[in-house]
A = this chain, B = another copy of it.
Amino acid sequence: MAASLRLLGAASGLRYWSRRLRPAAGSFAAVASKTPVGFIGLGNMGNPMAKNLMKHGYPLIIYDVFPDACKEFQDAGEQVVSSPADVAEKADRIITMLPTSINAIEAYSGANGILKKVKKGSLLIDSSTIDPAVSKELAKEVEKMGAVFMDAPVSGGVGAARSGNLTFMVGGVEDEFAAAQELLGCMGSNVVYCGAVGTGQAAKICNNMLLAISMIGTAEAMNLGIRLGLDPKLLAKILNMSSGRCWSSDTYNPVPGVMDGVPSANNYQGGFGTTLMAKDLGLAQDSATSTKSPILLGSLAHQIYRMMCAKGYSKKDFSSVFQFLREEETF
């Protein structure tokens, strides 16, 4: 983090906001009467995110297609309603956290979607990871209703969602960024302004595509080195002091026995599932196709994670690609 902050000095022109700089949570709680915040999508990620808003004193208006997902919040005294439209009727700041582009379109533009009852001047923040072209489309429709849309996908998994340490990559009109920060800062330790609508998605997609490529590359290089007689720990050290160094080699090494506290040390349990990586690579693929950007390695990485999903790796952490490549030829 120290390193990150250094990169992000005043001269950089980067609109960036980190927990270290913000008022303590306590001072938020001191603010007497907060207006309610809508929250749509209380899944694995949405649930702890919404709870962090509650901790900061925001009353919630809740909706999920699965009523069971709302029960916990209802018991805690939050208001549960029966459609996204109803959320929009009762809250002028809404956060959506949904699994796919289709779910997001339904929540906004569906028969009982937000747009049916959205109030002028509302701030709608979509933290789903979806196609940036869809984000732009939704933003246009929202704008027609006199409201504001921002895309703010997250990086960091369920653990970071619980501890309020997510990173949000935010796209939208810059004037509205401060208003978005107020809410997102309750759920994440980094909130980065990326540019116009859709650029939050773009930043996330590009990062995850590069992550997928360097993880597979690390797995290939480690596997090749081991087969050529190198000790895995030694090889990792050499890579990490050389130009092959990357997050996948020095922070999240995919080879069992090289590092502690990472999924490879725990049979690839936990972490970021292969099926989620395959989904993000599908978005990268779509974006690349529509912008005619060549992504040779990105496409192949997509196909590799696709294949892994079909070979029983879908729920394992995405670093299990080492195990996938490692299987020995048998005759």
Residues of A at the B interface (CB closer than 8 Å) are 3-4, 7-8, 12, 14, 132, 155, 167, 169, 190, 192, 194-196, 198-199, 202-203, 205-211, 213-214, 216-218, 220-225, 227-231, 233-235, 237-249, 251-252, 275, 278, 282, 284-289, 291-304, 306-307, 309-312, 314-315, 325, 327-331
Contacts and interface: CB of A to CB of B under 8 A. Distances in A.
21 contacts: A3-B241, A8-B237, A202-B224, A202-B230, A203-B225, A203-B235, A206-B230, A206-B235, A207-B239, A208-B243, A210-B220, A210-B239, A211-B244, A214-B244, A224-B291, A243-B248, A278-B292, A293-B306, A311-B327, A312-B330, A314-B329
Contact of A297 (B194, B240, B284, B300): B300
A115 B239 CA distance: 34
A57 to B, nearest CB: 29
B295 A4 contact: no
Contact of A291 (B206, B227, B295): B227
B224 A4 contact: no
Nearest to A209: B221
Contact of A296 (B190, B229, B286, B304): B304
Number of copies: 4
Contacts of A292: 227, 278, 306, 309, 329
Contacts of A248: 243
B297 A228 contact: no
A311 B209 CA distance: 24
A198 to B, nearest CB: 6
Contacts of A7: 237, 240-241
B297 A231 contact: no
Nearest to A327: B310
Contact of A300 (B239, B296, B307, B314): B296
Given A4-B241, A7-B240, A292-B329, A207 B221 contact: yes
A132 B199 CA distance: 28
